[in-house]
Amino acid sequence: MSFVKYLRRDSLLQLARKPSLHRNSMLQTCRTLIIETAPPESVKLNRLCGSDSGIMEVALDRPVAKNAINKEMLKSLEKTFETIGKDTSARVVMITSLVPGVFCAGADLKQRRSMTPSEVHTFVNSLRYMFSFIEGLRIPTIAAIEGAALGGGLEMALSCDLRVCGEGAVFSLPETGLAIIPGAGGTQRLSRLVGRSVSKELIFTGRKIDAREAANKGLVNFCVPAGEAHEKAMEIAQQISEKGPMAIKMAKKAIDEGIETSLASGLEVEEMCYQELLNTQDRLEGLAAFAEKRKPLYTGK
């Protein structure tokens, strides 16, 4: 952000001619103005420590637009998840919201209206890539959902391995009502999760479903009392982080790659993943801890 946004060129020249005390005062005023008008970070990364070390929290925080994803927020998401992808200490990721009553309202349609068709195409492709990147992380991902998960917000939740919601959560892919379709993975991930017929009904009608119906349809893994989704997601994350890190990664790989093939090919993927674990220090530690009736100390090696 530049001073020029707030001061004209002639003002800057006048500032240079002022006595130092007055100039310093004006500079301080400008600095304050810049700090106060700088947009806050819409995506926050929190690395937990202590017994929860290895758990990463990605918090959506754009209250002015109910966490609707604009270009700037998308860049922040990309930066955050690229950081997580490179962090060898990361064991599990939780996506949550700091905005009461909403997980994510989808793409920012106000910004969308000012885009050209080419810009829309680029944005949606980038969003699709972002959600595929989340899905492709080697470590488990959990969406903790309170309130509305609509459009791109639901597509982001679908890219996670697990979903936990509070009873007040609401889900919808309303794109057909805007004469478009879910374009960031919704048509593909929803149908793979809940089946072709249910997916068609939800996308064709664009209707909203509540938390209980989402749980009954298999859209979410757990439905808990309103306000407790984060707590439940944290409980699951803690359970995962206690397990052998390499085993969790190989389990995810075996499931994700095997499910898209025949049973015979899937079993070959499983065998390959199992072989990857045979010579690890963690496997020996697991056996030793079992024999000694103690909690294993896994290092991911």
From the candidates 65, 107, 184, 214, which is the catalytic residue?
A: 107
From the candidates 175, 214, 229, 244, which is the catalytic residue?
A: 175
Q: Which residues pair with 141 in a beta bridge?
A: 93
Q: Which residues pair with 96 in a beta bridge?
A: 59
Long-range contacts of 51-54 (CB under 8 A, 24+ apart): 51/238, 52/234, 52/237, 52/238, 52/241, 53/89, 53/241, 54/89, 54/90, 54/91, 54/92, 54/241, 54/245
In the chain, what is the straight-line distance between the N-terminal and C-terminal CA atoms, in Å? 45
By CB atoms closer than 10 A (0-12, 13-18, 19+), residue 187 is: middle
Question: How are strands ordered across the β-sheet holding 102-104?
Answer: 102-104, 148-150, 170-172, 209-210
Phi, psi of 62 (to 5 degrees): -130, 70
What letter would DSSP give residue 107?
B
User: Packing angle between helix 245-258 and helix 263-277, nearest 10 degrees?
Assistant: 170
Whether the CB-CB separation of 63 and 39 falls below 8 Å is answered with no
Is residue 152 annotated as a catalytic residue, yes or no? yes
Is residue 155 annotated as a catalytic residue, yes or no? yes
Whether the CB-CB separation of 273 and 251 falls below 8 Å is answered with yes
From the candidates 68, 144, 151, 155, which is the catalytic residue?
A: 155
From the candidates 106, 152, 186, 258, which is the catalytic residue?
A: 152
Distances (CA, A) of 175 to 85, 106, 133, 180, 263: 30, 10, 22, 5, 35
The identity of residue 144, as a single letter, is A
Show which residues are catalytic: 107, 152, 155, 175
